[in-house]
Amino acid sequence: MPIGEFDIIKKYFTRLGCGRGVQLGVGDDCALLSVPEGKQLAVSMDTLVAGVHFPKNSDPELIAERALRVNLSDLAAMGAEPLWFTLGLTLPDADPLWLNGFSQGLFNAADEFYCVLVGGDTTHGPLSITIQVHGAIDADHALLRSGANVGDLVLVTGTLGDAAAALAVIQGRLEVGEQGFHYLMQSFYRPKPQLHEGQLLAHIASAAIDISDGLIADLGHICEESLVGAIIDIDRLPLSGLMEKRVEPVQAVMWALSGGDDYQLCFTLPPQNLNKLEILIKQGKINATIVGEIVSGSGVTCLKDGKPVQISASGYNHFKS
């Protein structure tokens, strides 16, 4: 590399000032941090590898934005409030243009969600980014995957499938016009971690997960950990205006069910808390849609017109019975 590790850290990743609870940030053997009194620490780590999780020639600003937002989404899924993050950055070379863009995107997202960079490591090697986020949460209010009960409603925040549509556009399989392109690229590279929503839901929901692998897969994790089953009514899946206008209906439903990368929350709600949720929805504090119910048994079953349908890579079909 033309410049060394210490210079990269100093030039691109050290900012003056410090965040809440940061006694010592970037630059010593460790960062020293104070967790707010009475709170637990929630931590999550994600690695993004070039050529696997994003195209190698992606805009570095967008890679950084996405990397931090995707990690923050894990805090949202627990109902935690962001505090700090660490960055493990492996670089094939120290390209100043790339580093400028990357650090710009990183600090944009960090500032938007009040999450402070406190340390990390910069090494030479194939491009990859590991981020660990740290959040604070009331000990008794964490949203676990294991809390769902039979009879709970299944809900999702926002709309589903836009990230899969974005991928189709990137790969040349879908044409959506200039405005649609801009909207989908924002959805893909700048997903909005549902942090405020998660913190509100921590007091009324029974379980939650963020939708990274697709609704069926992620709701499946809740079912597995809670020892229950779930049904999804595919007519109730919330779709964006663009999906409704530009994408063929069966394809739109497939992307909403299995597309992944949307980083909305899927959560379960005891029916007696529905009125509390409706108040939050009316106040504009959360956007959520009922899509199904927790049932006894195991696995996720999709219904159309009240009848089970089978989901496959090519679409969905009513079970032959």
Phi, psi (degrees; rounded to nearest 5) at 298 = -150, 160
Based on the shown chain and the rule CB under 8 A, indicate whether residue 90 belongs to the binding site for a copy of itself.
yes
Unique residue bearing structure tokens 């850290």 = 9
Let me know how long the chain is: 321
| Nearest-approach distance from CB 24 to a copy of itself, in angstroms | 7
Q: How far is CA 245 from CA 168, 171, 240, 272, 316, in A?
A: 16, 20, 9, 36, 20
Residue 186: CB atoms within 10 A of its CB come to 15
| Separation CA 205–CA 222 (nearest Å) | 13
Based on the shown chain and the rule CB under 8 A, indicate whether residue 1 belongs to the binding site for a copy of itself.
no
| Nearest-approach distance from CB 175 to a copy of itself, in angstroms | 30
Which one of residues 169, 209, 211, 269 is an interface residue with a copy of itself (CB under 8 A)?
A: 209
| Separation CA 46–CA 217 (nearest Å) | 18
Unique residue bearing structure tokens 């690229």 = 185
User: Of the ranges 77-85, 109-117, 153-161, 288-296, which one interacts with a copy of itself (CB under 8 A)?
Assistant: 77-85
Which one of residues 1, 3, 18, 35 is an interface residue with a copy of itself (CB under 8 A)?
A: 35
Based on the shown chain and the rule CB under 8 A, indicate whether residue 270 belongs to the binding site for a copy of itself.
no
Unique residue bearing structure tokens 């504009």 = 284
Q: Under DSSP, is residue 147 helix (H, G, I), strand (E, B) or coil? A: helix
Q: Considering only CA atoms, which of 276, 277, 258 is closest in space to residue 219?
A: 258
| Nearest-approach distance from CB 72 to a copy of itself, in angstroms | 11
Q: Under DSSP, is residue 59 helix (H, G, I), strand (E, B) or coil? A: coil
Angle at CA of residue 284, ends 281 and 285, nearest 5°: 80
Dihedral sign computed on CA atoms, order 221, 292, 302, 297: positive
User: Of the ranges 87-95, 242-250, 269-277, 280-288, which one interacts with a copy of itself (CB under 8 A)?
Assistant: 87-95
Based on the shown chain and the rule CB under 8 A, indicate whether residue 33 belongs to the binding site for a copy of itself.
yes
Q: Which is nearer to a copy of itself, 124 or 245 (CB)?
A: 124
Residue 209 token pair: 């997960």
Based on the shown chain and the rule CB under 8 A, indicate whether residue 312 belongs to the binding site for a copy of itself.
no
| Nearest-approach distance from CB 54 to a copy of itself, in angstroms | 12
Per-residue x/- track, 117-156, a copy of itself (CB under 8 A) = -xxxx-xxxx-x-x-x-xx-x-x--x-xxx----------
Phi, psi (degrees; rounded to nearest 5) at 152 = -65, 150
Residue 158: CB atoms within 10 A of its CB come to 21
Which one of residues 8, 9, 12, 31 is an interface residue with a copy of itself (CB under 8 A)?
A: 31
Q: Which is nearer to a copy of itself, 209 or 243 (CB)?
A: 209
Q: Which is nearer to a copy of itself, 187 or 212 (CB)?
A: 212
Residue 243 token pair: 């999906």
Restricted to residues 39-68, the positions that interact with a copy of itself (CB under 8 A) are 40-53
Total of chain residues touching a copy of itself, rule CB under 8 A? 57
Using CB under 8 A, list all residues that contact a copy of itself. 23-24, 27-35, 40-53, 74-75, 77-78, 80, 86-88, 90, 118-121, 123-126, 128, 130, 132, 134-135, 137, 139, 142, 144-146, 208-210, 225
